[in-house]
Amino acid sequence: MTQREHGISRDDISENAAKVLHRLNGAGYEAYLVGGCVRDLILGLHPKDFDVVTNATPEQIKGLFRNCRLIGRRFRLAHIVFGRDIIEVATFRGHHQPESGDACEKRSKQSQEGLILRDNVFGSIEEDAARRDFTVNAMYYSLADQTILDFANGIDAIKHKRIELIGSPEVRYREDPVRMLRAVRFAAKLNMRISDATAQPIYELASLLSNIPPARLFEEVLKLLASGHGVNTYRLLKEFKLFHQLFPMLTPFLKTESGRENSFIEKVLENTDNRINSGQRVTPAFLYAAVLWYPLEEHAQKLAFESGLSQHDAFNIAMNDILHRQIQRIMIPKRFSSGMKDIWQMQHRLPKRFGRRAYQLLEHPRFRAGYDFLLIRGQIEGGDLLELSDWWTTFQDAAADTKKSMLNTLRDKEGKPATKRGTRRRRSKPKATKKSS
């Protein structure tokens, strides 16, 4: 496909990606932009990343770039580092060879279930295209002559808004079950339909996600829920029974579409989508805290009832229990799990507003996240929670006199006794007794 047909301009391509392509071509290697960046450029979108593929081996790539580092064992890749910008360069993948032995074991390996454990078999561009996952990701852009090589009819799939796997869907899902998540993500992001042949095996093979390392699933879930298309992605994940594989504890809570648990998650994702699409920052801690809130609340209540623990102690134990269960499926880094705990604990601290506590909570580093979380809970559940969130909405931006008046009104309403500074009763010292002579 020529430049006139695809309409991609050189100006649309990352300057650093162009540098990598030029150097590889100048050294006599084939080199192309590949995958999502080509797809997005054709759709008129702005790619987040520009990936390069070449017939140069990782070691040959490293020999050309001083700013190169080689990463990965499962897939050997080269990262060309330009400050904060990283151009990922892969070598053309080949088909797995049937022979066995130590040499082959170092290059490729599959589990008994068909999961690819190691994949460093190199081949031609035609073999590489056959190894790609979806037809819309198997297009190669050459900067040298500005043409696109389309080996799997990706242009036709884009035209008909269709997500479809290359090859046998069952085999491809067994090779890498994360492809089921990627199918959903692309369908939601690109507003496309998953073809029947690609969709049908997902229902049967969804459980294979349990074979994926928890650390890898953390990154994949972020791509799913923090991409700016979280609501649509969430609905598709539920439709294909994939969400329950990622968050098993949510299964009994999402039986009805109109339930508060489902409504809460959708509202959080709607707000997240709005923030991402307006260029604001989001934290994974907030997303995970929201998804796991109702299992946490139920578990804490059960602990308090069955063991006789105080609500405070039961809640603290429940937080650790819920996190421990979840990280068996999705690894949550400590910097985010500690943030989740702060947001959860704020839900118990925000109702305690008397005296200086209200001012102290405003100064808490997690106040805003805790308040935003409470606000959504109030919108979903109403009642006392809505009243509490409305109070904090007014209080945090009120003038000093208004804040004082609000606290006085709250104290009178709740019947709390007023305390004045300097009026605390002092413990009287015991009288000295006379020594008997």
* Catalytic (active-site) positions: 49, 51, 133
- Could you identify the residue written with the tokens 């709250």? 410
Report the alpha-carbon distance of residue 146 to residue 348 in Å, rounded: 59
Six token digits for residue 350: 């925000």
Query: What 8-state DSSP symbol labels residue 99?
Result: -
Six token digits for residue 312: 């405070």
Our measurement of the distance from residue 293's CA atom to the centroid of its chain's CA atoms, rounded to an integer in Å, reads 17
Six token digits for residue 432: 């000295």
Contact (Cβ atoms closer than 8 angstroms) between residue 36 and residue 52: no
Give the three-class secondary structure for 186.
helix
Report the alpha-carbon distance of residue 234 to residue 246 in Å, rounded: 11
Report the alpha-carbon distance of residue 206 to residue 327 in Å, rounded: 19
The residues, any chain, with a CB within 8 Å of residue 102's CB and separated by 6 or more, are: none
- Kindly provide the residue ranges of all beta strands, DSSP E only, lying in 105-253, ordered along the sequence: 108-110, 116-119, 139-142, 147-150, 162-163, 193-194
Burial of residue 381, with CB atoms counted within 10 A of its CB: 0-12 exposed, 13-18 middle, 19 or more buried: middle
Angle ∠(262,271,291) on CA atoms, nearest 5: 40
* Start-to-end Cα distance in the chain: 116
Report the alpha-carbon distance of residue 66 to residue 215 in Å, rounded: 30
Segment holding 71, helix H or strand E: strand 68-71
Contact (Cβ atoms closer than 8 angstroms) between residue 136 and residue 185: no
